[in-house]
Structure 1
């Protein structure tokens, strides 16, 4: 995935436009939300957009980054202190899973025990099983390779989805579709124009998983950097998180 690029990464670093997430310190009483940031995500942009989304939502979350170079490492002990784990967009599935396969069982145990998993684009792919964390009642595939897909290339673009009965245009870059087993227990939030699933929420053990193929969390600069018309869809991203948070003390 290339839609932010090195120049965008450097500009954000220099101007301090990334989400304001506090250092580790002592984790307080608010529910902890972990957002992965590391080699399985982009240098800047994806993790920060997800962190901004969670921090701005109504769930009173204490949002922190986790990853190999962050104050909070992605380990079973750290996950045990969290309520939410968010996996943002990144590069290819093979590359992302190579960096995260050692955390597979810790992430599965976290969700099975009652944690919430959020997957955006690559994070959605990683929720699947071939390869991935196997958190879904089914698997994932490339939307751009599916029959009747309205997008065929992997460049930054827009894709229309039907989200809870309304057509919306959302930032997209080679995101997944979700294939559900025949007996799957899942809430389909959105479909692509060819009828395949673009976003869903499902239980996993005592926890919940919510995943999306496009990028409803995208900030305005994603569109302008890609020379695309801005299409605000944060309300869809908040809806996705709300589905994941159902049943928690933070849910509204």
Structure 2
């Protein structure tokens, strides 16, 4: 994303690497199966998802038993306080709302927060849902993957929602983050320097000529934040954590030179759902 970050594809040859988890567990995920026929029956095209006058759009945030304690609430708070706020429902085992076709059909956005550590192990729980998740997004849904959710948007293993793949940024060639430590790193967001909270997040390798918007790059030029179409839907992914609030920085003893701001998170969300 040098120059115009909004359209440039980034490629590479690094293998997918996920460093071992640190003390803060922010990447544990689980999705349920979504019957495609039911989704299509109730309608999940972009125009049908929460566009009624006077009604807030609905975001579903995964908060199952593998999620870290602060990940889902942080994203939920961000969505509820957004300039154009969402209604938010937690979904997944233990929330009282299973991730079903009927539940998804009411929503515009599904958020997979961070909170996992072992991609291969987690994928054993998720692979049965891969096709139904792809079909929901293809029919008009929007998937937002933050950190571990970004890894899961890739493939081998993953849902295969990206025009390319995800891989571990920490320790990759040219990376300024050598390991799985919590840190604040500099990215280039649409040509401007910004700082973001980071813990073992992915970078994204895009296919040549991919139809994708690269919102931000890491300092080695790798894609850090990407939005891409998938059928009638969209997929937004971020390696860093634009949603991180003050408590994340305080707990890790970190400071963001830009201050704790949420404009990047709001821009990522708006781009993912196709809001001007």
Shift of 1:3: 5.1
User: Do structure 1's residue 237 and structure 2's residue 262 form an aligned pair?
Assistant: no
Tell me the residue number matched to 1:14.
Answer: none
In structure 2, which of residues 171, 174, 190 is the aligned counterpart of residue 145 of structure 1? 171
Asked if structure 2 preserves the Cα contact closer than 8 Å seen for 1:111 and 1:208, the reply is yes
Give the alignment's TM-score, normalised by structure 2.
Answer: 0.77
In structure 2, C-alpha distance between the alignment counterparts of 1:122 and 1:229, rounded to whole Å: 23
Instruction: Report the Cα offset of residue 104 of structure 1.
Output: 2.0
Q: Distance in 1 between matches of 2:270 and 2:25?
A: 30
**What is the CA–CA distance in structure 2 between the aligned matches of 1:189 and 1:155, rounded to whole Å?**
24
Secondary structure, in 3 states, of the residue corresponding to 2:179?
coil
* Contact in 1 for aligned 2:227/2:234 (Cα 8 Å): yes
Within the alignment, does 1:193 sit opposite 2:219 as a pair? Answer: yes
Larger relative contact order (Cα-Cα within 8 Å, sequence gap ≥ 6): 2
Q: 1:124, CA displacement in angstroms?
A: 0.5
1:60-86 per-residue CA deviation (whole Å, 9 max, x = no partner) reads: 421111111112111223212211100
The one of 152, 160, 167 aligned to 1:134:
160
- Give a deviation string over 1:35-90, Cα, whole Å, max 9, x none: 01113421x11111111111111334211111111121112232122111000001
Aligned length: 226
Change (3 A) 1:105 1:77: farther
CA distance in 2, matches of 1:3, 1:166: 31
Report the secondary structure of 1:225's partner residue.
Answer: helix
Q: Provide TM-score, normalisation by structure 1.
A: 0.84
Q: 1:36 aligns with which of 62, 79, 90?
A: 62
Structure 2 residue 67 is matched with structure 1 residue 48: no
d(CA) in 1 for partners of 2:133, 2:83: 24
2:135 maps to which of 109, 118, 129: 109
Q: CA RMSD in A?
A: 1.9
Describe the shift of the 1:226–1:95 C-alpha distance in structure 2 as closer, same or farther (beyond 3 A).
farther
Q: Structure 2: which 5+ runs fail to align? A: 1-20, 27-53
Note the alpha carbon deviations across 1:84-116, whole angstroms, 9 max, x for none: 100000122224323333332222111100011
Q: Report the more deviating stretch, 51-60 or 128-137.
A: 51-60
Which residue of 94, 97, 106 maps to 1:81? 106
1:184 counterpart residue number:
210
